[in-house]
Amino acid sequence: MFDFQHTILKTMKIFNTFLLLLFVSTCFSQTTDESTIRQIYNKALGEGKSYSMLDYLSNKIGSRLSGSPGAAAAVEWSRHTMEDFDFDSVWLQPVMVPHWVRGQKETGRIVNSRKMGTVEVNVCALGGSVGTGPEGIVASIIEVKNFDELAQLGTKGVQGRIVFFNRPMDPAQINTFAAYGGAVNQRGSGASEAAKYGAVGVLVRSMGSNSEDYPHTGGLRYAPNVPQIPALAISTKHADLLSKILKEDKGVQFYMESHCEILEDAPSFNVVGELRGSEYKDQVIVVGGHLDSWDLAQGAHDDGAGCVQSIEVLRILKSMGYKPKRTLRAVMFMNEENGGRGGAKYAEMAMKTKNKHIAAIESDRGGFTPRGFTISADTATRRKIQQWKPLLEPYGLTDFSQEGGGADIGPLAPQGTALIGFLPDSQRYFNYHHTQADTFDKVDKRELELGSASMAALVYLIDKYGLK
């Protein structure tokens, strides 16, 4: 009996010692993580390079539409910047991209209005649209809110006319990306839907949150075996004016003129910078943004901010002397805006090299105040990331509830990659998205740097603990 009791006491002592060591180890690990994350933020906010990088990309290079000289200059800038930061390796990944040019400024004009006569309105061609030619198009115009209304009009109500899609983003949606998603199909598919019924052109209300003078461009997709007709975006302010005039005068006409062209595909590149892993070098964590932008402005928020934040993630960790367990990559994807070829090419090459991409983080929602991350992954992975929330909440990262990743990292999904989207505050994003207003002066330095640190903190945690 004595021996049995002694054994029990000895076993309990060993177990209690184990629990104490586990507790101390957990506390030490958490303290270390808190200290490292604090250091990441100190580096970003006190010694950050993201804002100066964005200054150069926006003001020295400017717009970067796929196939343009600006896009080519941005590729070289990205490569040299990551080489100057002494990443372990930097390389270019060739990809053929669409090449569309806007040509001279577009014209939009309300004509034959009984009350107002002729009214100039602010328009721009949608990306990928065919042009009208120098003679332009003048036709009666019919307003619809959605494709169901278009179908109800049919060929009899549409043929020979310009179709005006005027469904606004839903202002009641707190998440402006949800509002955008509820309206954007008219921009993407409206031209082909209208062409099925014989329309000669399309006018689309801009994807903007507020009443604005300037139009928002964005890509359209022509359906196969359907006539390709010209498509323009009209500013939200002038869309409201046109709608008001149409209610008072059904006979009003519209004149549209654009000079855009679709050229042969052009050679371009993704740009990849890498810090090699010390233990699991074949496991890859990607951070990225898209290097291309629309041609109306500088692409500062969309997506210059995401590019410089991604480079800054690797720069911060390297400057701290951090030795990653897994391979970390910053990828500047080409052609997100009008084709998605860069993301597809990167995923294709990832399959060929057989690197295991355990996680990919994309920043493509502007350089605004960080709120959290969207996550598309299996339940266990999602829960593991959410377990780190207490470490990140002190920095304003509280929202880990939404699904989502990003357009450029999406093609990695079949490999089982956890797709994560950097989630900043969304309320101002669609004031600038795809417009002439997307310029460097609209980006706040501190907000941009907080975003870089937020992404770097999550990369650190994924690298240290993995996702399985």
Which residues are designated catalytic?
336
- Distance between alpha carbon 365 and the CA centroid of its chain, in Å? 5
CA gap 341, 329 in Å, rounded: 19
Task: Say if residues 264 and 99 touch (Cβ distance below 8 Å).
Answer: yes
Determine how many CB atoms are found less than 10 A away from the CB of residue 29: 12
Cis peptide before 303 (omega within 30 of 0): yes
Phi then psi dihedrals of residue 86, to 5 deg = 60, 40
Give the neighbor-by-neighbor strand order of the sheet with 280-290.
Answer: 89-101, 261-275, 326-333, 280-290, 356-362, 418-424, 370-376
Q: Are 334 and 342 in contact (CB under 8 A)?
A: yes
> Can you tell me whether residue 323 is helix, strand or coil?
coil
The per-residue b/e assignment along 238-254, b for 16 or more CB within 10 angstroms, e otherwise, is: bbebbeebbeeeeebbb
Question: CB under 8 Å to 45, separation ≥6 — which residues?
Answer: 446, 449, 450, 453
Separation between Cα atoms, residue 110 and residue 407, nearest integer Å: 37
Which string of b and e fits 85-102 if b means at least 16 CB within 10 Å?
A: bebeebebbebbbbbbeb
Amino acid sitting at position 364: D
Q: What distances in angstroms separate CA 272 from CA 96, 328, 376, 402, one per listed residue?
A: 16, 10, 23, 28
Instruction: Answer whether 228's CB lies under 8 Å from 193's CB.
Output: no
62 torsion bin: left (phi>0), alpha (psi -120 to 50), beta (else): left
SS3 313: helix
DSSP state of 106: P
Phi/psi at 36 (nearest 5 deg)? -65, -45
- Any residues with CB less than 8 A from the CB of 211 and at least 6 apart, and which? 236, 237, 240
